[in-house]
Structure formats: C-alpha cells, structure tokens
Amino acid sequence: MTAQTAAGRTPLIAGNWKLNLDHLQAIAFVQKLAWTLKDARHDFGAVEVAVFPPFTDLRSVQTLVSSDDLPIRFGGQDCSEHDSGAYTGEISAAFLAALDCRYVIVGHSERRQYHGETDEQLAGKIAAAHRHGVVPVLCVGETAEDLETHGPSAVPVAQLRAALAGVVAGQEIVVAYEPVWAIGSGQAATSDQAQQVCAALRATLVEVLGEEASAATRILYGGSVKAANVAGFMAQPDIDGALVGGASLQLEEFASIVRYQKHVGTV
C-alpha cells in the first residue's frame, strides 16, 4: 500500500539540519540514511525524503546523491530574493538550481526572528525560487503570544496570504506549519491542533489559488516531530508530511519518522 493521502499527495518528510554537520559529516549521514531505509525496504516512491543541509554541504550531498543514484532529495535552508549583485552573504536561487536542489526553505521562524525577515521579502524569495525552478517550502507559524492574542490559525493564515502575493496556480509550493511555541520545546501541538491550522491554510490556498492548486499542495507539520508522534499527524486529512528539526540529526530516529507507516501498521 502506498502512503499517498486521500487526495493523492505524496507525503514529504523533510529534515532541516540547521547549523549542524559539516560536509564530511553530511556525506556520512546521507549514505547511512539511504542504506538504513533500503535495508528497511522503504518505498521511496510512496514517501519522499528530503534533507536540508548547510550551504557548504550542498555540493558534497549533490555529488553523493547523483553518483550513487540515491533516492533522497535535498535543498537549501534559505535563498535571496535577488538573483545576483552586491549582496554579501546571500545565496541565489540560481546557485541552488545549479546544484540540482529540488527545494529551498523560505521564512523559517528562526529567519523571521533573528533576521527580521518580512512577509514582503519572503514573497520575493518565493518568486526567486520559482524563477529558477526550485520549489519553495514556505514556513508559517505563531508564537505563544500570537496564539494567546489572536487565537489559532490567524497569524499563519495571514503569513501565507502575504507570501502568496505573486504566486499563480500551477507554480509548486510546499507549506510548512510550524508553531513556534512548539519548536525545540519537546511539546508538540496535538494532531487535532495541527489539523485545525492546516485546514485553515488549505482553505486559504483554495481562496487564493483555487481548488485544484490547493488539492495538489502539500502541507507539512513541523515542531518537535518524533517517531513517537508522527503517525498521529500523518493521519490528519490536511497534513501531508513533516518538517523535522532536531530529530533529523538522529539517524535512527529520522529513519523511523520516514517509516511512519509502521507505527500505524499500514506498511
């Protein structure tokens, strides 16, 4: 049995390594991950696996994946809204495309918090990714203060609506709901809480891009995802995968998250 959702969306389990693992460690990790999943007879066609290493690791990961024909996708942790120019320290989506990056994370809560990224900038980054054929993984989410002040879904929906300003139906995008109050806390949202927000996000996609585009768009949950709780999230109708942080650096734990079906006996 495949792991596709009722709507036919192939689940995506994505590991955001953040500021961890150098290029040699990245090579070792990706090799071991591929071997671990193959040994477990993981169906790579049923559940897509992607990793997001630091920029300095990308060439090494690309070389490994292409030379060994490993069925693992990879992407950048951020990109610039600019294609080139006098922007010291920025990474162009064109550079990511040249390295065969399938994805790029845009608007992670840490970028919003530590770098003051605005919704307007993020709309520009999404446009830049699309210009170069890279699929943006847009992160939206609320802090504990946002949740208390505005209630569930209000802030993530507003962030999504602003980021979609230049997106048209037919341009692929992945949306990742990450409740900031849950990230790294060990206290994930409940599956019902996550579903409530993801349903609101999908309704926004319908409103902005239309029914067909919304039905094709994958929405991930991110925030203290573990092997012990991933199956509950994946059982929800509007959750199509997970954006995994700390647990993606633990080989066996991440591999177990990828094989979430075994936790509910559907493999």
Instruction: Give the model confidence (pLDDT) of 199-257 as tens digits.
Output: 999 999 999 999 999 999 999 999 899 999 999 999 999 999 999 999 999 999 999 99
How high is the pLDDT of residue 264? 61
**Inter-residue contact 44 to 37 (CB < 8 Å):** yes
Mean pLDDT, to the nearest integer, of 53-69?
A: 96
End-to-end CA distance of the chain: 6
Say whether pLDDT at 258 is over 80: yes
**How do residues 141-192 score in pLDDT, each as one tens digit?**
999 898 889 988 999 999 999 999 999 999 999 999 999 887 766 677 899 9
Say whether pLDDT at 266 is over 50: no
Kindly state the helix (H) or strand (E) to which residue 24 belongs, with its residue range: helix 23-39
CATH number of residue 136's parent domain: 3.20.20.70
Structure tokens at 40: 């477990």
Say whether pLDDT at 4 is over 60: no
The three-class DSSP label of residue 103 is strand
Helix and strand counts by DSSP (H, E) for the chain: 12, 8
**Inter-residue contact 74 to 96 (CB < 8 Å):** no
How high is the pLDDT of residue 184? 65
Say whether pLDDT at 1 is over 50: no
Judge whether 128 lies within some domain. yes
**Structural domain that includes position 109:** 11-20+81-219
Structure tokens at 147: 């949740």
Judge whether 237 lies within some domain. no
Structure tokens at 150: 């505005």
- Categorize the per-residue pLDDT at 50 as very low, low, confident or very high, splitting at 50, 70 and 90: very high
Residue 143: CB partners within 8 Å, gap ≥ 6? 155, 180, 181
Q: What is the CA radius of gyration of the chain?
A: 17
Distance (Å, rounded) from C-alpha 174 to C-alpha 53? 18
Half-sphere exposure of 224 (CA within 13 A, CB side): 15
Let me know if 178 is a catalytic residue.
Answer: yes
Judge whether 256 lies within some domain. no
**How do residues 196-205 score in pLDDT, each as one tens digit?**
999 999 999 9
Structure tokens at 140: 């939206």
- Proportion of the chain above pLDDT 70, given as a percent: 94
- Domain total for the chain? 1
Judge whether 6 lies within some domain. no
Report the chain's mean pLDDT, rounded to a whole number. 93
Indicate the pairing of strand 73-76 with strand 103-106.
Answer: parallel
Mean pLDDT, to the nearest integer, of 113-130?
A: 97
Residue 121 falls in which region: left (phi positive, over 0), alpha (psi -120 to 50) or beta: alpha
Residue 177: phi and psi, rounded to 5, are -90, 120
Let me know if 82 is a catalytic residue.
Answer: no
Judge whether 107 lies within some domain. yes
**Inter-residue contact 38 to 30 (CB < 8 Å):** no
* Catalytic residue from among 81, 108, 110, 117: 108
Say whether pLDDT at 116 is over 70: yes
pTM for the model:
0.94
Distance (Å, rounded) from C-alpha 181 to C-alpha 113? 13
**Inter-residue contact 226 to 257 (CB < 8 Å):** yes
Judge whether 188 lies within some domain. yes
Distance (Å, rounded) from C-alpha 250 to C-alpha 73? 18
* Catalytic residue from among 48, 81, 110, 178: 178
- Categorize the per-residue pLDDT at 267 as very low, low, confident or very high, splitting at 50, 70 and 90: very low
Mean pLDDT, to the nearest integer, of 2-12?
A: 71
Judge whether 16 lies within some domain. yes
Judge whether 167 lies within some domain. yes
Mean pLDDT, to the nearest integer, of 86-98?
A: 98
- Categorize the per-residue pLDDT at 5 as very low, low, confident or very high, splitting at 50, 70 and 90: low
Indicate the pairing of strand 219-221 with strand 48-52.
Answer: unpaired
Alpha-helical regions (H) of 116-229 = 119-131, 144-150, 154-163, 191-209, 211-216
